[in-house]
Amino acid sequence: MNFYELYLRSFFDGNKDGIGDFKGLNEKLDYFTDLGIDTVWLLPIMTSPAFHGYTISDFFNVNPAYGSIEDLKQLLNNAHKKGLKFILDVPVNHCAVNSEWFQKALNGDSEYTDYFLWANEKTDTDEPRHWGGDKIWHKIKDKYFYGLFGPGSPDLNFENKKLWEEMKNVFKFWLDIGFDGFRLDAAKHIFDYDSENMIFKYQHEKNITFWKEMLSYIKSLKDDAIIVSEVWDDSSVVKKYEGVFEIGFNFPFSYDLKNSVKKESPSDFIKGLKNSMPDYLSEEKEIKTKSGNFLTNHDMTRLVSEMENSQEKAKLALSILYTLPGYPFIYYGEEIGMKGILESVNFTEDGEEPFQWYENGFGPGQTEWKGYKFNPPYSGFSEESEKKEENSMLSHTKKLLKFRKENQWITDSKINIIKENENMIELCIYNGKKNFICIYNFKPFELKIETSSDIIFSAGKTEKNYNSLLLGPYSMVVVAGK
């Protein structure tokens, strides 16, 4: 599967109000099939006071800015006819302050009070969050509530088993609407507070118990449901959740790949590969949770900006992404080289600007909910201009996606490191029946590679001679294995 992370508000406007919506997305389904995408991960679309949708006020309804439930059903039905699948991002760790659950709890409704965590005499209401230093306790009226992700996001208290049943109802509702699975936001945060000692503490075993029950229920409703988890942490923590989820986002891989390409360092890439994908480097190890490989997402600086505005380095990073085992994900707009720098995860809109359909920045369907800070008109990064250019980021990405779709066996393959020096890397990608050699040039100059093998695929400048080939700057080539 080739996944595409989509922020609906910024994609395509179907009702001329400047906000991306279901009708607009329905008009652009062929864009995904033409690009080579087969599964779209839709960021939260539920009713929410927040532009990003991650604080939900009603888990059983859609944001009216995006359209109606019927619009959504029509979208999903048409998508399925085209062979596209859609998974929904569901943040279950917390809800919105204006949600009915939280408002009833504030007003003393005993049925809902235990849906949340409240301060008591043991609580240090000045306790800081372990990243960023923000407070995790927030005062409202005469009470303090626990909200790890900020004062707009009261955490749900999953010590209360009634909430487990509530969340099962949520998953069933969206499967019945027509979704093909879920991306599970903040999966390690379901139990991240020790309510007995009143202190922040990850409780991974409790998290795993919760998710096993949820996933068993989801699979009982739809046995082929696609499940993707977000455990944003280092490899040692991610390892704890191995085998629980079908696909797990590989954050260490993202950082290791970007940093090694930015620094033009093959050795850093190999070191990172051994750290973030060790089981793929071993014949004996069974892959229990498949690696969800990505470069950026809605909480990160965009790829071209991360590569210090080098499109060539960004292309190399994408080339590596689409030739390695696991499932590849691309964030909307990366295929046209959009820019965006996140100074804080509290201000993610800098990485969620409108997708640029037109070179002048405006036209039918163009979203305009946010002004252009990083991707102004006539910047050269638009679908309109890039689809005409053979060497554009869009053409490069389409080529990679087509190759990956034609070689789906890569997903379940293994990696053998053949050669590494200060300039390049050779990897053998193989399974029991197929194999090929990937050669990556990390440098801004041509490399001469000694090989008599035939070229299967190339991304970038490549010139083949009888027993050698010239591999252009930041280029990649796939040759036949032995």
- pLDDT per residue rounded down to tens, the chain (482 residues): 999 999 999 999 999 999 999 999 999 999 999 999 999 999 999 999 999 989 999 999 999 999 999 999 999 999 999 999 999 999 999 999 999 999 999 999 999 999 999 999 889 999 998 888 889 999 998 899 999 999 999 999 999 999 999 999 999 999 999 999 999 999 999 999 988 888 899 999 999 999 999 999 999 999 999 999 999 888 888 888 988 999 999 999 999 999 999 999 999 999 999 999 999 998 888 899 999 999 999 999 999 999 999 999 999 999 999 999 999 999 999 999 999 999 877 778 999 999 999 999 999 999 999 999 999 999 989 999 999 999 999 999 999 999 999 999 999 999 999 999 999 999 999 998 899 999 999 999 999 998 888 899 999 999 888 788 999 999 999 999 87
Give the phi and the psi of residue 304 in degrees, each rounded to 5.
-65, -40
Contacts of 129 (CB under 8 A, 6+ apart): 135, 136, 148, 200
Q: Which of 185, 350, 353, 383 is catalytic?
A: 185
Positive or negative, the CA dihedral 305, 306, 312, 315 is negative
C-beta contacts of 116-121 below 8 A and 24+ residues apart: 116/145, 116/146, 116/154, 116/155, 116/156, 116/157, 117/145, 117/146, 117/155, 117/157, 117/193, 117/195, 118/143, 118/144, 118/145, 118/146, 119/143, 119/144, 119/145, 119/146, 119/198, 120/198
Q: 305 and 369: one domain?
A: yes
Q: 231 and 289: one domain?
A: yes
Q: 25 and 116: one domain?
A: no
Q: Cα(320)–Cα(328) distance, rounded to whole angstroms?
A: 10
State the CB neighbour count (10 A cutoff) for residue 61: 14
Q: What is the DSSP letter of 409?
A: G
Q: Cα(5)–Cα(328) distance, rounded to whole angstroms?
A: 11
Question: Which domain, by its residues, includes 318?
Answer: 3-93+161-408
Q: 234 and 273: one domain?
A: yes
Contact, 248 vs 238, CB < 8 A?
yes
Residue 393 resides in a domain? yes
Contact, 233 vs 279, CB < 8 A?
no
* SS3 at position 123: coil
Q: What is the DSSP letter of 348?
A: G
For 150-176, letters b (16+ CB in 10 Å) and e give bebbbbbbbebeebeebbbebbeebbe
Residue 156 resides in a domain? no
Give the end of a domain, one of 387, 408, 429. Answer: 408
Residue 151 resides in a domain? no
Q: 108 and 246: one domain?
A: no
- CATH number, domain of 440, equals 2.60.40.1180
Which residue has 């080739």 as its token pair? 2
Cα angle at 149 between 145 and 150, to 5 degrees? 60
Positive or negative, the CA dihedral 301, 307, 310, 311 is negative
What pLDDT is attached to residue 345?
Answer: 75
Q: 300 and 269: one domain?
A: yes
Q: Cα(447)–Cα(424) distance, rounded to whole angstroms?
A: 8
Q: Radius of gyration over alpha carbons of the chain, in Å?
A: 23
Q: 132 and 68: one domain?
A: no
Contact, 8 vs 48, CB < 8 A?
no
Q: Cα(444)–Cα(457) distance, rounded to whole angstroms?
A: 20
Residue 165 resides in a domain? yes
Q: 189 and 224: one domain?
A: yes
Q: What is the DSSP letter of 473?
A: T
Give the end of a domain, one of 389, 408, 427. Answer: 408
State the CB neighbour count (10 A cutoff) for residue 276: 21
Q: 403 and 300: one domain?
A: yes
Helices and strands (H and E) in the chain: how many: 14, 22
Q: Which of 5, 13, 38, 230 is catalytic?
A: 230
Which residue has 């659950």 as its token pair? 101
- CATH number, domain of 264, equals 3.20.20.80
Q: 107 and 58: one domain?
A: no
Q: 248 and 114: one domain?
A: no
Respond yes or no: is residue 185 known to be catalytic: yes
Q: Cα(389)–Cα(393) distance, rounded to whole angstroms?
A: 9
Q: Cα(471)–Cα(460) distance, rounded to whole angstroms?
A: 8
Residue 121 resides in a domain? yes
Contact, 337 vs 393, CB < 8 A?
yes
Residue 155 resides in a domain? no
Say how many domains are in the chain. Answer: 3
Which pairing describes strands 290-293 and 247-249: parallel, antiparallel, or unpaired? parallel
Residue 152 resides in a domain? no
Residue 383's H or E segment, with its range, is helix 383-386
Give the end of a domain, one of 351, 376, 408. Answer: 408
Respond yes or no: is residue 17 known to be catalytic: no
Residue 21 resides in a domain? yes
Q: 135 and 175: one domain?
A: no
